[in-house]
Amino acid sequence: MPQRRSGIQELRLTKKKRLHNLDIKTDLKKTVKGFRAAVESKNAKEAETLLNTVFKKIDKSAKRNLIQTNTAARRKSQFSKLLKSIA
């Protein structure tokens, strides 16, 4: 536990940021799960709309340094391949 006032404030800030980042990551995981479910059910139209939202969320999380840019690019490539496989 920090002793100085600045340390206490920093701890409060990091907790807030951690929870915010966790919300973004879980939201990304939920949308990816929905996209994969649409691909599993061979619903191309729904999967295409979900792919756009997945791309949006991946780009935003990469911009905020929650995931690395190469990881974001790799995932986007894999998801577009999945969509093409059912189309």
Give the total number of structural domains in the chain: 1
Residue 13 covered by a domain = no
Spatial separation of the C-alpha atoms in residues 22 and 55, rounded to whole Å: 18
The contacts of residue 72 (CB under 8 Å, 6+ apart) are 58, 59, 61, 62
Spatial separation of the C-alpha atoms in residues 6 and 31, rounded to whole Å: 38
> What is the model's pLDDT at position 84?
95
> What is the model's pLDDT at position 87?
76
pLDDT digits (tens, 9 = 90+) for 46-55: 999 999 999 9
Range of the domain at 72: 43-87
Residue 15 covered by a domain = no
Q: What is the dihedral of CA 17, 23, 27, 28, to 10 degrees?
A: 30
Residue 58 covered by a domain = yes
Q: Please name the amino acid found at residue 71.
A: T
Residue 82 covered by a domain = yes
pLDDT digits (tens, 9 = 90+) for 3-42: 999 999 999 999 999 999 999 999 999 999 999 999 999 9
Residue 57 covered by a domain = yes
